[in-house]
Amino acid sequence: MKRKIENVCKAIASVKRGNVVLIYDSDNREGETDIVMSACAVTPKHVALMRRDAGGLICVAIHPIAAERLRLPFVSDLLRYASGSGLDVAEVVERPGDVPYDRSSSFSLWVNHRKTFTGITDIDRALTINEIGKAVRLSMNGAGIDFGKEFRSPGHVPLLRAANNLLRERRGQTELSIALAELAGITPAMVMCEMLDEGSGRALSKEGAKRYADVRGLVFLEGDEIIDACDR
């Protein structure tokens, strides 16, 4: 137990310094490790690291309070609304059982900041991610934000809405990363990217992710460690 607490403390110190950590969700869920860090601290080099060393989708998880204040919908809700408005998209809306490890996905809008060009470059994505972090910080502090004035959609940075009750409701990477942000006392907007294995074509194994962390001196966290720290 003491070792687990020390590991969480190391992760907290790391994200507070603007560094990346690795979070493995669970053997009983996705069984994936994500590279995670604060959205406010991301640089173009961090984006390059994630696409090169992780290879998954570079997303930004957002605290539910900020998502509500910024009026960020779930994509599934948008599709249901579009279906009711006459667009024939009902068949693609996720249904119960579609996601084998969860009840539903966390996807919200995909955005670019309005100052970006194509939106996909490391520089453009870092700018968008930084500005998302800024918007979350301001909204959490009670400031009114005109999200549409700052961002446009569709874009190249997917937003993820954490569940309203965080880990008490859902224990995905989205909620784990936001819970870590809360433990660290930083803005609850976290960048995350799944680590993939080009050799197997699957997610990078837990052992492979641990080796990656060991070689680079990074903190490797299990989801249960974050959950236990939040329950203390």
Walk me through the domains of the chain, giving residue ranges and CATH numbers. Answer: 2-231 (3.90.870.10)
pLDDT at 44: 98
- Of the ranges 29-33, 180-184, 189-193, which one carries the lowest mean pLDDT score? 29-33
Whether 213 has a pLDDT exceeding 90, the answer reads: yes
Whether 118 has a pLDDT exceeding 80, the answer reads: yes
Catalytic: which of 112, 131, 175, 212? 112
Separation CA 154–CA 116 (nearest Å): 13
- The mean pLDDT of 40-64, rounded to a whole number, is 98
Assign 29 a pLDDT band (cuts: 50, 70, 90): confident
Whether 232 has a pLDDT exceeding 80, the answer reads: no
Separation CA 220–CA 232 (nearest Å): 20
Model-level pTM?
0.91
Contact 195, 35 (CB under 8 A): yes
- Whether 113 is a known active-site residue: answer no
Catalytic: which of 34, 122, 222, 225? 34
pLDDT at 100: 72
Whether 2 has a pLDDT exceeding 70, the answer reads: no
Whether 1 has a pLDDT exceeding 60, the answer reads: no
- Whether 112 is a known active-site residue: answer yes
154 preceded by a cis bond (ω within 30 of 0): yes
pLDDT at 102: 66
pLDDT at 3: 63
Whether 130 has a pLDDT exceeding 90, the answer reads: yes
Whether 56 has a pLDDT exceeding 80, the answer reads: yes
Assign 84 a pLDDT band (cuts: 50, 70, 90): low
- Whether 59 is a known active-site residue: answer yes
pLDDT for 139-181, tens place per residue?
999 998 899 999 999 999 999 999 988 888 888 899 999 999 9
Catalytic: which of 30, 194, 222, 225? 194
Whether 99 has a pLDDT exceeding 80, the answer reads: no
pLDDT at 103: 64
Catalytic: which of 53, 94, 150, 156? 156
pLDDT at 78: 81
- The mean pLDDT of 66-80, rounded to a whole number, is 89
- Whether 28 is a known active-site residue: answer no
Whether 39 has a pLDDT exceeding 90, the answer reads: yes
